[in-house]
Amino acid sequence: MNAFWAARSPRERAILAAGGAVLAVLLLFVFAWLPLERSRARLAAEVPRLAASVATMEGQAAEVVRVRSLPATPSSAATPSAAIATALGTRLPGVQASAVDEKRVRLTGSDVAYGALLETIASAQGAYGMRVDSARIDALPAAGRVRVELLLARS
C-alpha cells in the first residue's frame, strides 16, 4: 500500500485523498445519519398518538379511583320494598308508590307519561329484580298520557 501511495504524484495523491474523504462522508451519511433521521421522524410522528393514549389511561385511572371510592351498593334482595317504592315514586311525578309487602310494590297514577312509565318499569326490573305482576293502563285523551295501576313483584 505504501509503494502504491509513493508511486503517485502529489496531484494524484490530492485527488485520491479528496475522493476518499468524499467517500467517507457519503458512507457516514448513508449508514449513520439517514437511519437516525428516519427513526427520529418515525418517533416524532408517534409521540402525539402515545400522548393521547397516556391521557386516556390517566382518565381511566381517575375513573377507577372514583368508582372504588363509591360505597358498596346493597344487593337487590336486601333492598326493602318501602325503599324501592320511594325510589320508583320519585322517578314518576304524579304517581303514588307504596309497599304492599316485602316483595311487592303498588304504583298508582291518574295522569302519567307513558314513556316515563316504561323507563321506570325497565329500571325496576334491572335494579331491583321487579316484574309486573298485574297492570291496568288506560289511555287518556292527551297523547302519551295514561292512567295506571301497577303491581310490581320481586321474583
User: Any idea which of 39-48, 59-68, 70-79, 97-106 has the lowest mean pLDDT?
Assistant: 70-79
- Residue 94, domain CATH: 3.30.1360.100
Q: Same domain, yes or no, for 54 and 87?
A: no
Q: How far is CA 30 from CA 34, 44, 70, 75, in A?
A: 6, 21, 59, 68
Contact 118, 132 (CB under 8 A): no
Whole-number pLDDT of residue 41:
94
d(CA 67, CA 20): 68
Whether the full predicted model's pTM is greater than 0.75, yes or no, is: no
Q: Same domain, yes or no, for 41 and 86?
A: no
Q: Same domain, yes or no, for 126 and 61?
A: no
Q: Of 149, 77, 79, 91, whose CA–CA distance to 123 is shortest? A: 91
Q: Same domain, yes or no, for 94 and 141?
A: yes
Whole-number pLDDT of residue 79:
65
Q: Same domain, yes or no, for 94 and 50?
A: no
- Sequence-ordered alpha helix ranges (H) in 7-113: 10-28, 34-69, 81-91
Whole-number pLDDT of residue 72:
58
In this prediction, residues 92-99 reach a mean pLDDT of 86
Whole-number pLDDT of residue 48:
94
Domain boundary pick from 32, 53, 69: 69
Q: What range does the domain containing 97 cover?
A: 76-154
**What 3 state SS string does 111-135 have?**
EEEHHHHHHHHHHHHHHHCEEEEEE
Q: Same domain, yes or no, for 58 and 95?
A: no
Per-residue pLDDT reduced to its tens digit, 19-52: 999 999 999 999 999 999 999 999 999 999 999 9
Helix (H, G, I), strand (E, B) or coil at 94: coil
With a pLDDT cut of 70, the percent of the chain lying above it is 95
Q: Same domain, yes or no, for 142 and 96?
A: yes
Q: Same domain, yes or no, for 44 and 88?
A: no
Sequence length of the chain is 155
Q: Same domain, yes or no, for 80 and 149?
A: yes
Contact 106, 62 (CB under 8 A): no
Number of domains forming the structure of the chain: 2
Domain boundary pick from 53, 69, 85: 69
